[in-house]
Amino acid sequence: MSKWLTAIGLACNMAGVAMIFFFGVPRYRSVADAGKSYLQVEADDSESEQRAKRASRLSRLGLTLLAVGFALQLVALWR
């Protein structure tokens, strides 16, 4: 059973790293950005916004897969 948990955990880690490699680490607003305002040049850029949201979701999924893979490998170690 522990070999399967280790293998599944490693597969999750590999998938998570690949997602983070292609989509980057998710960015969160920092305290330094709180007081800044930006000028929007182009009003209708919904395709670009959709791609950015998709990349953000997939990068969060990559981080989640890394955490799940790490947890599975720890459980396999203790069994």
Domain locations along the chain: 2-26+46-78
In sequence order, the 6+-apart residues with CB closer than 8 A to the CB of 56 are: 23, 26, 27
Q: What is the pTM of this model?
A: 0.75
Mean pLDDT of 17-41: 74
**pLDDT at 30 > cutoff 60:** no
Average pLDDT taken over every residue of the chain? 85
Both tokens assigned to 30: 């920092």
Q: Which residue has the higher pLDDT, 56 or 35?
A: 56
